[in-house]
Structure 1
Amino acid sequence: MDDPILKLKNEISNLTASQRKVADYILKNPMEVAFLTVDQLAGLVGTSTTTIMRLTFSLNYSGYTEFQKGLQELLRNQAAPHTRLEANLKDVSESDLWNRCVENQISNINKTKEIITNETLINVLDLITSSKRVYCTSVKSGLPVAQYLTFGLNRLLGNCELVIADQSDWVDLLLNLDSNDVVIATSFPRYARRIVDFVSQAKESEAKIITITDSYSSPLIKYSDIILPCNSGSLAFHNSPIASMVVADYLISSLAINYPDRTKVRLDKVNDVLTKINYHYHNN
């Protein structure tokens, strides 16, 4: 699914002054615009329908109607779980569900790949490797991403800790956060207040914030130093972490491959310990 809000944010610097006025209104009132006619929107913004149409063309939509449908779908995916499930499965047969599910995840991964630049990923790796401590945090559907990152980064670097934002007593942790620390926060709609609270307080402590989220409308964006936007749509009621897991896997793999002088010694030590305690099962 194309994210019209994300497209607007990415293109806003290239718009004319009148188009920016329209874009600003849409970004502030997406729910309202999703059900306005082009004439109604033009009247509210104080511009022409031609300006609005040119804006949608610049975002690679065939017109305002297609843009509006994309906006409606985005809002529907952020709706209550039972509503989202009903909308998504309306035209899906049981025999086609497996193919549709796989295709949806492939689409999520491909769109995420298109959005995240190599430069952004390099900046993320620089932050992680230059930090004293790394804290991975999330709740609910984003938690598998935080857990996977914590395991991988800690195995490689030895300085990573998991913070489950809606369960942990992270107030004490905040007292020790400073500008040498990095928080990697993963959050999807509907966004949990506790993770927003944790990230905002971490930012006040001058920690660097890397955010893995679905949209630039996420409440974590304003606290973020680096944003990794990942598609999280599923065929059912839930947010899918699959595309985000691919990003997490890349970060772990890239650290291991590109920083061997720092990671190989630790990996060898871990392997020695596991071998000594006969940790792994051997089928004789």
Structure 2
Amino acid sequence: MENVDNQDLIRTIQVKFPRLSKGQKLIAEYILKHYDKAAFMTAAKLGVSVGVSESTVVRFANELGFSGYPKLQKSLQELIKNKLTTVQRIELSNDFVSQESPLKSVLKSDMENIRATLEKINHKTFDDVIANIFKAKKIYIIGLRSSTAIADFLGFYLNLILDNVKVVGYGISDIFEQMINLTGDDLVIGIGFPRYAVRTIESLTFAKSRDAKVVAITDSLLSPLAARADYTLIAQSNMASFVDSLVAPLSVINALIVAVGMQEKDKISSTFSDLEDIWKEYQVYSFREQN
């Protein structure tokens, strides 16, 4: 089961239901009705909610073909993470922080996202993306909704290093009008996480129709952005709350900026030397007087 597409999970539960024990049937019924909540419950908490022991929950996961409950939980999370509404996320956030303070819960979750990203990301793909950034005639960056902040961050720093970067976003002109001159010599970097913005997906489809190279920075190879990309950089963004976790995606973007900068050291030194003079002259930053 662990090698089967997550979309088959609900069907598997339905097929196996008649052969389950009485306690396991209670778990199955709960998951079929409340899979959005079950996805973020520990085995112990799911057992309490249903009225069975934690060991019964573990045996239920084994009966479905999983090596343990965490694998079943992960499959449920993959199944529902793009389907949760904001209202459902708010309801889930109560469970998310019930045992610990919001500060500790969120920081621990973000640490796990970075750890998982380090394990999942393909280093060769990362190097290929860097190579394509330098090959591209023009680079378009698009990240909408909650991904706008990190798209702007990537665009801000790449613009200091290169001179062919354009951040595409909502404004006076439509998204496609901003990409009208896109060609096969260009590179499009699409950034998106559940819930995926439709316009970002459409933009990558448009880019492929123009034969441009496409890079996706997203949470999974099953992401609709990845389906339209030549290169996909995986950054885990799991957060059982109404707020998207963009810590791991931002770390990947930081790594991209640093990797590009390392190949343009002389240009960066010259650029920032000029900028420091400008910032001081126009008081962009607060400069403390040195004694």
TM-score, normalization by structure 2: 0.74
Partner of 1:105: 110
Letter in 2 for 1:226: Y
Q: 1:206 aligns with which of 203, 211, 229?
A: 211
Task: Confirm or deny: 8 A CA contact 1:34 1:71 kept in the other structure.
Answer: no
Partner of 1:45: none
What CA deviation, in whole Å up to 9, does each residue of 1:100-141 have, x standing for no partner? 110000000110111112212111111111112111111111
Partner of 2:286: 281
What CA deviation, in whole Å up to 9, does each residue of 1:215-264 have, x standing for no partner? 22221222101101111122411321111001111111122223324543
What CA deviation, in whole Å up to 9, does each residue of 1:37-94 have, x standing for no partner? 5578xxxxxxxxxxxx8x96xxxx515x654332222334331122133234326338
Aligned residues between the structures:
246
Task: Confirm or deny: 8 A CA contact 2:146 2:244 kept in the other structure.
Answer: yes
Bigger Rg, structure 1 or 2? 2
Task: Confirm or deny: 8 A CA contact 2:96 2:105 kept in the other structure.
Answer: no
Once superposed, what is the RMSD of the aligned Cα atoms?
Answer: 3.0
Partners of 2:12 and 2:150 in 1: CA distance: 31
Task: Confirm or deny: 8 A CA contact 2:96 2:241 kept in the other structure.
Answer: no
Partners of 1:185 and 1:62 in 2: CA distance: 35
Letter in 1 for 2:147: G
Partners of 1:243 and 1:168 in 2: CA distance: 31
Partners of 1:216 and 1:165 in 2: CA distance: 26
Partner of 2:140: 135
Partners of 1:252 and 1:269 in 2: CA distance: 20
What secondary structure, in the 3-state scheme, does the structure 1 residue paired with 2:286 have? coil
- Aligned-pair CA distance for 1:152: 0.8
Task: Confirm or deny: 8 A CA contact 2:138 2:185 kept in the other structure.
Answer: yes
Asked if residue 120 in structure 1 is aligned to residue 98 in structure 2, the reply is no
Q: Which consecutive unaligned segments of at least 5 residues does structure 2 have?
A: 19-61
- Aligned-pair CA distance for 1:167: 7.2
Partners of 2:165 and 2:96 in 1: CA distance: 44
Partner of 2:232: 227
Q: 1:75 aligns with which of 79, 102, 106?
A: 79
TM-score, normalization by structure 1: 0.75
Asked if residue 264 in structure 1 is aligned to residue 269 in structure 2, the reply is yes
Relative to structure 1, the CA distance from residue 208 to residue 237 in structure 2 (aligned partners, 3 Å threshold; closer, same or farther) is same
Partners of 1:151 and 1:259 in 2: CA distance: 16
Q: 1:171 aligns with which of 172, 176, 183?
A: 176
Q: Which consecutive unaligned segments of at least 5 residues does structure 1 have?
A: 9-22, 41-52
Relative to structure 1, the CA distance from residue 212 to residue 165 in structure 2 (aligned partners, 3 Å threshold; closer, same or farther) is farther
- 162-171 vs 204-213, which moves further: 162-171
